[in-house]
A and B are shown apart, each in its own frame.
Chain A
Amino acid sequence: MNSCDKCGNLNIIIKKKQSGQKLCKDCFIKSIQKKVLKDIRKYDLLEKGDHVLLGLSGGKDSVMLLDILNSLKERNIIDLTAVTIDEGICGYREEGIEIAARNAKKLGVEHRVVTFNEYFGMTLDDIISKNNVKEGRRNACTYCGVFRRWIFNRVARDEGATRIATGHNLDDETQSIVMNYLEGNIQNLTRIGVKSETRSNRFTVKIKPLREIPEKEIALYVVARELDVHFAGCPYAGESFRAEVGNFIKELSNEHPTIMYSTLRGFDKIKPILKREFSQESIVGVCENCGEPTAARLCKACTFFKDWEDE
């Protein structure tokens, strides 16, 4: 007989492959909220009085994180501002922005929408159409990631935020570990973690409170909570190496349901050694063009612009 392991309710909504645990709707929602708040304490992600800038795309991960961080705002533990970045992906981003705005408004959370166009004078669609001119160029996710990080950091400083919170989940994080390892990007590996650490005060500390929650459980949470969510795939995502690695890990997880947890745990154990041997964080300066922190003469975003100018 299937019944909730916590309260005995016969209407269960999940039977976890990794642990066999069965939960009803109410117990599942409570267990997820408890786990995220526990991780926030365990990893020291937030302090009382922090001003958190939440990246709110309107997708399931960020809407769930808004729901949980709002409970800390309501208890006057943190201040919360949500920011939605409009990259300029025609036919995809518009609906997400509307949904993000509705969620923020419903909870009374301050919300800003900022665009690639206002900061860089071009949309992601423009960048990709430029990108197609030459072969061997980077895919959309590389540009998008670099420009989004640049904007987050700039907006966080403008807002006086002390933390940037993002909805990265267990699947995202495991993909980052495996893809960077497979590509030999050891520098990137040293920066993966639940909380960014940097000596530069121009970088706002980034936190990932959903890092240990599988994507499927986040999806189940937002459906169970009946949250307003943008369920759609980015048109550029399918072309990425991340997508290939993601599909590979998903396939492995079918037969080995704990594989993402063990990948994360194993990585977290070797990370201090990677940091000690390979981190370049001690030589952070500022980009001579835009003033954002960087280990090089130009930050990554300005390097892309310089490359385009030189063509």
Chain B
Amino acid sequence: MKIKLIIGEKEELIEISENKTVKNLLDIIDIASETVVVKKNDYIVIDEELIEDGDLIEVIQVIYGG
């Protein structure tokens, strides 16, 4: 399935397999979940939220080192 992924200024369409959670996606793109807030279709969601075909996922980096 395809989703739209936004990280900062970068926006892209990506292909991921079915039954993936937000946490699974963050692991795939190698981002630590404790450093971000994630929105699905403009609503804040928790790590275990299931991603579905056509979703808009926005990853907001909120915690930086130091």
Q: List chain B positions with a Cβ less than 8 A from chain A.
A: 34, 37, 39, 43-48, 60-66
Contact = CB atoms under 8 A, between A and B. Distances in A.
A141 B64 CA distance: 15
Interface stretch (A12-20, A97-105, A153-161): A12-20
A126 B39 CA distance: 40
**Interface SS, A side:** helix
Given A246-B65, A254-B34, A231 B46 contact: no
A280 interface: no
Interface in A1-59: 2, 11-15, 25
A223 interface: yes
Contacts of B66: 141, 233-234, 236-238, 240, 242-243, 246
B65 A243 contact: yes
Q: Which of B47, B60, B64, B66 has the most CB of A within 10 A?
A: B66
A2 B62 contact: no
B44 A231 contact: no
Given A13-B45, A243-B66, A247-B65, 8 more contacts: A11-B43, A223-B39, A223-B44, A233-B64, A234-B64, A237-B65, A237-B66, A238-B66
Contacts of B60: 223, 231
